[in-house]
Amino acid sequence: MRKISFVGLVAAAAFGSAQQPPAAPFQTHQVAPNVYYVEGGGGNTGVIVGEKGVILIDAKTTADSGKQFADAVAKITPKPITTIILTHSDVDHVGGLVAFPNGLTIIAQEGNKKEQEVAVAAGGPRAPSPDYLPTRVVSKPKEDLTIDGVKFELLHWAPAHTSGDLIVFLPTQKIVFTGDIITTNRFQPLIHAEKDGSSEGWITTVKGMVALNADQYVSGHGDVLKKDAIQEKLDKATAERDKIKELVAKGQTLAQVEASVGDPPPSEAQGNGGPRFAPYSEVVYRELAKKQ
């Protein structure tokens, strides 16, 4: 590898509460002969070079970082960008769309589009552009596509990080782009409860990812991982959720649960920079407490 309403206002805030990009230069990494990802300026963004054009996965945070991303793509290939696939609606993955020409095909899961539409209606400086909403919506659990000679499987098992997560699998290259389902710069699974993400859905989704015939997993933030590292994350999250389920059944409070599972303090749980996400134990507790 080479190196509006109250609901609407909450949705707009959720759109803006993505993981913020680190102050680091852009770096391009190659993971297969025609597959790259670009680090910096927001979430990791994929570049897949097709027969005549380029397919991107996500688009950075702002017009400026989107432009830098486009410049990085131009250094890889002179072929034109034709399609952008979005893994979810957080601003650090979709805000940079405004840097690209109008008329591109923008593919997203249906929940992603709904989240962006609500955020557009709510307005605000970090709302997505109404001119760059998804033009093609994935509504099935699995959609097989061939774009410019490249085979894709677009997968959505359940709401996990958000309601509209989309896993991008390249079966020929055995590469998965995980979006923020998997990150390596944070301690735990990151779940937007305000975007209807869920811990149960996160576990379902990661189980599905592990079952794929894949060798490399490009995380939403951080490093490329092998399958055993994904399995390790799944095992830890599952074990913690199972323990919390037992504690909730015994009537323990959130404070008691957090003390029992030994969650790190928020500063450690959130990694370097970015807004506060509720700790995984809190997300799980609140989900399970509702069912009592």
* CATH number of the domain enclosing 174: 3.60.15.10
**Residue 249 domain-assigned (yes or no):** no
E-assigned strand segments in 40-122: 45-49, 54-57, 81-85, 105-109
Q: Which two tokens mark 15?
A: 């759109």
Q: What is the rounded CA–CA span in Å between residue 181 and residue 177? A: 10
213: CB partners within 8 A, 6+ apart: 171, 174
Q: What is the rounded CA–CA span in Å between residue 95 and residue 68? A: 13
Cα–Cα nearest to 147, from 241, 58, 50: 50
Local confidence pLDDT in tens for the 292 residues of the chain? 444 332 343 344 455 544 444 456 899 999 999 999 999 999 999 999 999 999 999 999 999 999 999 999 999 999 999 999 999 999 999 999 999 999 999 999 999 999 999 999 999 888 899 999 999 999 999 999 999 999 999 999 999 999 999 999 999 999 999 999 999 987 789 999 999 999 999 999 999 999 999 999 999 999 999 999 999 999 999 999 999 999 999 999 999 999 999 776 554 444 444 456 789 999 999 999 988 7
Q: Residue 15's pLDDT is what?
A: 53
Q: With beta carbons less than 8 A apart as the criterion, state whether 281 and 261 touch.
A: yes
Q: Residue 24's pLDDT is what?
A: 66
**Residue 117 domain-assigned (yes or no):** yes
Q: Which two tokens mark 66?
A: 């989107």
Segments forming the whole domain that contains residue 87: 6-232
Q: With beta carbons less than 8 A apart as the criterion, state whether 42 and 93 touch.
A: yes
Q: Count of domains in the chain?
A: 1
**Residue 243 domain-assigned (yes or no):** no
The alpha carbon dihedral of 223, 44, 163, 55 has a sign of negative
Please name the amino acid found at residue 51.
E
Q: Which two tokens mark 211?
A: 């079952």
**Residue 101 domain-assigned (yes or no):** yes
**Residue 89 domain-assigned (yes or no):** yes
Q: What is the rounded CA–CA span in Å between residue 244 and residue 252? A: 9
- The DSSP call for residue 183 is B
